[in-house]
Amino acid sequence: MSISGDSGSARSASRPDGEAAGGPRRLAVVTGASAGIGRAFAERLAREAWDLVLVARRRERLEELATELRAAHVRRVDVLIADLGSSAGVRALEARIADEPTLELLVNNAGFGTSGPFVELDRDAEEQETRLNVVALVRLTHAALEAFRRRGHGSVINVSSLAGFQPSPYTATYGATKAFVNSFTQAVSEELRDSGVRLQLLCPGFTRTEFQEVAGARTEEVPEFAWMEPEAVVDASLAGLRRGDLIVIPGAGNKLLGAMLRAVPSAAARRVGAALIRRRLSKG
Ligand SMILES: NC(=O)c1ccc[n+]([C@@H]2O[C@H](COP(=O)([O-])OP(=O)(O)OC[C@H]3O[C@@H](n4cnc5c(N)ncnc54)[C@H](OP(=O)(O)O)[C@@H]3O)[C@@H](O)[C@H]2O)c1
């Protein structure tokens, strides 16, 4: 995967907060940086001269990425191995957040989904999903906002999903965790309206990462045009951060889908959604 020199580089020469590269050092923490959207955040932010703390469970992947980014951008890139589905992992990152005076951006990106009929899914996995997608995100947002509010600046990007806009039969827990993130992020953003601190709710649609494989989701019927690359998702997010947008839905197709999902009554959305998935399941 390329880490420099593509079309986003000129536009992203300034930081999301408007400060030119070469100014005082600013640190971003990216969770789930070992793959997919988180990795793309790490690459983009490194190119914009941010220092980085990369967080995930897979040490080898993170070390490799950190070495690549240091070589290309000569910035501070630290690795924190943590399972954010565990209390110990979340608390370790909270402590790190409190300890970093130059922290300016937290990207709460780590997340996973489960798919299938809810009663047939593994109960422990459903709990882990809720712990990672909800509990860790709340605690880490709180830890970062304490510091940001004191300083009067700083940003949190919470990675949600279009799946959070309506109940999602057959990905019920995942959709519900993202609905939580949607509501939570918008509410806290309003509380901090005039504080100088920003929150962003990033709601991607289908994105080419390891997510679908981890979720065991069948995507063969998803049309080619519906997919986005993680780098494009991140470019939309960072452009939105520069503009101060609260809700970012990357891609024109996803924006349209997001508007439709929000307009449709939830009874209709959940019935149509469930019927489509049942039809797919019955085909085997
Ligand atoms: N891809 C999509 O279609 C899509 C659409 C909408 C929203 N999203 C959201 O985008 C975010 C990123 O997902 P992705 O698509 O980039 O998926 P991905 O390629 O599977 O990456 C997920 C990342 O989360 C990390 N992670 C998973 N469990 C973790 C844990 N217990 N502790 C710490 N880190 C953990 C993984 O690292 P380790 O395994 O190394 O820990 C990995 O770096 C998620 O919040 C997801 O819900 C994705």
Q: What is the pLDDT of residues 146-205, one digit of tens each?
A: 999 999 999 999 999 999 999 999 999 999 999 999 999 999 999 999 999 999 999 999
What is the residue whose two structure tokens read 């509010």? 149
In a domain, 169, yes or no: yes
Helix 36-47 with 230-243: angle, nearest 10 deg: 50
Domain range for 108: 11-282
Residues 227/249, Cβ–Cβ less than 8 Å: no
In a domain, 42, yes or no: yes
What is the number of domains present in the chain?
1
In a domain, 87, yes or no: yes
Query: Which CATH number belongs to the domain containing residue 157 in this structure?
Result: 3.40.50.720
In a domain, 109, yes or no: yes
Q: What contacts 91, CB < 8 A, 6 or more positions away? A: none
In a domain, 6, yes or no: no
Dist. CA 162–CA 167, nearest whole Å: 11
In a domain, 5, yes or no: no
Residue 8 scores a pLDDT above 50: no
Cα of 187 vs its chain's centroid, Å: 18
Whether 110 is in the pocket of ligand 1, judged by its Cβ within 6 Å, is: yes
Best mutation site among 58, 62, 109, 213 for ligand 1 pocket (most ligand atoms within 8 Å of CB): 109
Dist. CA 136–CA 84, nearest whole Å: 6
Residue 233 scores a pLDDT above 60: yes
Determine the pLDDT at residue 22: 58
174 an active-site residue? no
In a domain, 126, yes or no: yes
In a domain, 180, yes or no: yes
Residues 34/228, Cβ–Cβ less than 8 Å: no
CA 39 to ligand 1 center in whole angstroms: 10
Residue 81 scores a pLDDT above 90: yes
